[in-house]
Structure 1
Amino acid sequence: MPFTIAIIGRPNVGKSTLFNRLVGQKLALVDDMPGVTRDRREGEAKLGDLHFTIIDTAGLDEGPKGSLTARMQEQTETAIALADALFFVIDARIGLTPADRAFADFARRADKPVLLLANKSEGKHGELGAMESYALGLGDPIQISAEHGEGMGELYDAVSKLVPPTDNEDDEREETDEERAARPIRVAIVGRPNAGKSTLINHLLGEERLLTSPEAGTTRDSIAVEIEWKGRGFRIYDTAGLRRRSRIEEKLEKLSVADALRAVRFAEVVVLMMDAQNRFEEQDLRIADLIEREGRALVIAVNKWDLMEAKPGQISMLRRDADHWLPQVAGAPIVAVSGLMGEGIDRLMQAIVEAYAVWNRRVPTAALNRWFEGAIADNPPPAVSGRRLKLNYITQTKARPPSFVLFCSRADAIPQSYLRYLINSMRETFELPGTPVRITLREKANPFAHKRKRPN
């Protein structure tokens, strides 16, 4: 197991900024408002030749038992228990506060190596605050600026005494086909606020890994967790609820939504979670359309099914509703689940595996040609402005999602309705339910175009 370091400290000292610096990308949300981070978040950090797992945590704070603040602190305590060492971060510009002193005692009781980081040390005020931090009794402070990258050399020297250098031979070795097949499937769980996304993932994990609350908007960052189901690995991203753009007012919610959209773009399969009692609302349809435009495999999960009155034919009705409201992803798997009770979880995971397989599917060239000839014979393309459209041949250029190039004459004249006919026919013939199918039109070069007409 890789060496693990947890970043701890009171709210708004720059823990998430340091986390982003070490993982090399903006994974954690950063804002001037305290308490942005709520769940703990893991990433693969690199500092020179050192590789280790880094955990971003919620700011240490106190709250009544059972409150959201108290549960945020429980997440931080869990991160500390999992870690091999701690980064205790203070704000050098503000200097020591009573909260810093209280939580320094908390860090000492963890009985793990602690590196004291005086963040925001750039400038004269930062220097004074760093000097103050000696009073914490955690050793010499390492003066850094996570935002500007200052002090990373000193941080490397301190961390290198804890983490052994990494052998780079494995990094340079080319990945085999078996290793690619063994990689976890990247799955993003998206939906409107309070659809039950975090509750579902907690049930998959078998623990209260993600914070949940009846209050909408509890999740802010896109938190990634690793699970295994029937021997297959999954990396699942919990995301913030997506509301209509006109209803998003706060800057922090805008950042959360942008983070959720990034999770969709990096995912391979996206699970659109709907509330069973308010399903297929306008925002659900907008999110599904976004998933299709991004070219991701789609699985629809109708959550809180345990609250629905049992009636015959309800699942068939779900299927009809999905195909009616989402014709652009016709046949997308739809599963009724209860994240709270754990109902339908196995069916959902199986649907994810099957959707991933369809998303990666390649159609044999011979079968594609036979289908193409038959589709044109059954429904020839319409004549436009009295001129016949000629479709020459089609070829698959890639999978993920299945993408094809259709060579033809007068590409700009082919109606969208005819392309939809070809896509629907292809879905049915080659069993491509739900996944986006791309057809790009390309005009075949005219071999006689360079020849001049003979003069009369």
Structure 2
Amino acid sequence: MSSVAIIGRPNVGKSTLFNRLVGKRLALVDDRPGVTRDRREGDADLIGMPFRVIDTAGFEDEDPDSLPGRMRVQTEAAVKECDVALFVIDARQGITPLDEEIARWLRVLGKPVIVLANKCEGKGGEAGLLEAYALGFGEPLPFSAEHGEGIVGLFQELRPFIEGSAVVAEQPSEDEDVEKTEEEVDLSPLQLAIVGRPNAGKSTLINRLIGSDRLITGPEAGITRDSIAIDWSWQGRPVRLVDTAGLRKKARVVDKMERLSVMDTFRTIDYAEVVVLLLDATQGLEGQDLRIADRVLEEGRSLIIAINKWDMVESPSAFLQAIRQGLDDGLAQVKGVPLITISALTGRGIDPLLKAAFETRKAWSRRVSTGQLNRWLIRAIAHHSPPAPGGKRIKLRYLTQIKTRPPTFVLFGTRVDQLPTSYERYLINSLRSDLGFGSVPIRLHFRAPDNPFD
């Protein structure tokens, strides 16, 4: 049986990854570094592909006679004996000198290496993911050992190194792989969070969706304190609904329990796939609604706006137009966010809301080939060329998508640091409209080649 060694500096999530792969809490996990000392092995089964996985101590540069030094000897032995190494980095902290030292050692060793950028959930890991390209092992894999995000990608990366021709022979072709992955995304439970100001009707909406009074509701604001997850299905498609505490203006949150509830809601947003921001039609669009929406988009989550209590609106057409205008003005970074009118009390608009949620997740999870992206880039530049500050042209050379959920791209070129924000908006808006990303948040990073004479 092939073996896979997990290596990395202390406290990057190696033991959490080990537990994830073996399917049980075999390795101790703690915030303190240095919990793992000896090698720990276990049998893993990743989407039907079996292998032996080895957890190792945090790689440290210490005297070989010291305890950390002896731990490092064990780590080195595990990597030398394995078929492939999973080099785990903490994407939220970025690349450290110790990460670079481990990379140099692995290159000398000559073992196949897959870089796993752990803790990539939410927005905080994007910079570290990009930095990981500099380690020299190709495209890093965004991952969350804590939440299991990136499992399919890890399977695809490990498969060429796992022994057993029968296992490999049974796998689909490359085109079928893409179809299977897309189908897997579509059929996996939709992580759907309902957020909004207090008393917008979040709990009432979830009760209406599931068809029972599962959650406490009432006229009092702030009934919900914890984020409550409920497994459900819509038209045979699995959904995990999460009710959350109402979000008031920050200045009004002084009670400790409410602060904890707010933090819990923010965590729910971070790990959701689609977030429904519920507005109260009797109160209209307020600044706090825009702040919540901005938080969702900043975290890279898909956003849908639902206007509740629509049956109480007296002039629907004018009201809807005013809400849309307010959203376009207040959310300049994303235009055309889906806007659904509903009534949590009567069930009006429920099916359009769920349909929009699944369609939005599909766009949020979409990956475009590098060839298609660069053909699009040529057309976009031909339609609207980059400016030439000081008479010197800005050259945009190459575009690639480095992750999905949210769609994230890196555009390489010269003098890209002088590219105006207006042109960046043009590129992002064109990506959305031309390549089918709709209103989901898009990340576009610019990179210039290193100058060896700097």
Q: 1:285 aligns with which of 290, 301, 306?
A: 290
CA 1:352–1:395 in 2, change beyond 3 Å: closer, same or farther? same
Alignment of 1:302-341 (within 5 A): 302-312=307-317, 315=320, 318-341=323-346
Partner Cα separation in structure 1 for residue 316 and residue 198 of structure 2: 27
Q: Which amino acid aligns with 1:426?
A: L
Counterpart position of 1:275? 280
Q: Which amino acid aligns with 2:283?
A: N
Aligned to 1:300, the other structure's residue is in SS state strand
Counterpart position of 1:212? 217
Counterpart position of 2:101? none
Partner Cα separation in structure 1 for residue 404 and residue 25 of structure 2: 36
1:277: Cα distance to partner? 2.7
1:366: Cα distance to partner? 3.1
**Contact 1:202–1:208 at 8 Å: present in 2 too?**
yes
**Contact 1:405–1:440 at 8 Å: present in 2 too?**
yes
Aligned to 1:407, the other structure's residue is in SS state strand
Aligned to 2:193, the other structure's residue is in SS state strand
Counterpart position of 1:229? 234
Counterpart position of 2:38? none
Partner Cα separation in structure 1 for residue 386 and residue 378 of structure 2: 12
Q: 1:259 aligns with which of 259, 264, 281?
A: 264
Q: List alignment gaps of at least 5 residues for structure 1.
A: 1-23, 25-45, 50-170, 452-456
Alignment of 1:347-358 (within 5 A): 347-358=352-363
**Contact 1:269–1:355 at 8 Å: present in 2 too?**
yes
Partner Cα separation in structure 1 for residue 232 and residue 320 of structure 2: 28
Q: 1:431 aligns with which of 402, 416, 436?
A: 436
Aligned to 1:394, the other structure's residue is in SS state strand
Counterpart position of 1:55? none
Moved more, 325-334 or 178-187: 178-187
Q: 1:367 aligns with which of 365, 369, 372?
A: 372
Instruction: Give the structure-1-normalised TM-score.
Output: 0.58
Q: Tell me if 1:399 matches 2:404.
A: yes
1:357: Cα distance to partner? 0.5
**Contact 1:333–1:433 at 8 Å: present in 2 too?**
no
Q: 2:299 aligns with which of 259, 284, 294?
A: 294
CA 1:179–1:404 in 2, change beyond 3 Å: closer, same or farther? closer
Q: List alignment gaps of at least 5 residues for structure 2.
A: 1-15, 17-23, 28-150, 157-179
Aligned to 2:282, the other structure's residue is in SS state helix
**Contact 1:369–1:393 at 8 Å: present in 2 too?**
yes
**Contact 1:275–1:302 at 8 Å: present in 2 too?**
yes
1:314: Cα distance to partner? 5.3
Q: 1:241 aligns with which of 241, 246, 256?
A: 246
Q: Which amino acid aligns with 1:216?
A: A
1:241: Cα distance to partner? 0.5
Partner Cα separation in structure 2 for residue 295 and residue 201 of structure 1: 23
Counterpart position of 1:109? none
1:441: Cα distance to partner? 0.8
Instruction: Name the Cα RMSD after superposition.
Output: 2.8
Counterpart position of 2:383? 378
Q: 1:387 aligns with which of 388, 392, 401?
A: 392
Number of aligned residue pairs: 284
Please give the per-residue CA displacement for 1:92-145, whole angstroms capped at 9, x wherever unaligned: xxxxxxxxxxxxxxxxxxxxxxxxxxxxxxxxxxxxxxxxxxxxxxxxxxxxxx
